Amino acid sequence: MQKLHFSITINTPRKKVWETVIGEKTYPKWTEPFSKGSHVLGDWSVGSKMLFLAPNAEGKMEGMVSTIAESKPYEFLSIKHLGFVKNGIEDTKSDKVKSWLPSFENYTLKETNGKTEFIVEMDSPDEYKEMFEKMWPNALQKLKELSEK
């Protein structure tokens, strides 16, 4: 397991960035680099169960089952990943899942002079490190573009 770090400066206040990150219409757009057609089920409040889903090659929804570990609106969001969703079934107990738990994805928003530094810190199994290093910069660029509109 590795801790990965990514960040980008966005030329807008952090409230707008926050709303873009969790927005029903904007979330699927900025997360396209991870998977097209993604959406999220859950309300982003502390303790809320979250399903981050996207269609696979056969059109079946799969993704992550998670919970919101901490939320300080416009400042910090911590997502605790609990397992996978595959073929509509949540897996939070298999050996494969247990091998990378606990796993967190944290977003920190720091505002200075109307600009927001959006910082991502996440736990990643070694096998996904290279994939995330390619995907996150693209996702952050999309987040920047959407937030600055």
Residue 96, pLDDT above cutoff 90: no
Q: Residue 56 — pLDDT band, cuts 50, 70, 90?
A: confident
Quote the pLDDT of residue 28.
93
Q: Residue 105 — pLDDT band, cuts 50, 70, 90?
A: very high
Average pLDDT on 23-46 reads 92
Average pLDDT, the chain: 93
In degrees, rounded to 5, the angle at the alpha carbon of residue 131 between the alpha carbons of residues 48 and 23 is 35
Phi, psi of 112 (to 5 degrees): -140, 125
Q: Kindly state the helix (H) or strand (E) to which residue 27 belongs, with its residue range.
A: helix 27-30
Using alpha carbons, select from 111, 99, 125, 83 the residue that is nearest to residue 18: 111
Q: Where does 74-142 show beta strands of DSSP type E?
A: 76-86, 89-91, 103-112, 115-124
Domains and their CATH numbers in the chain: 2-147 (3.30.530.20)
Residue 137, pLDDT above cutoff 90: yes
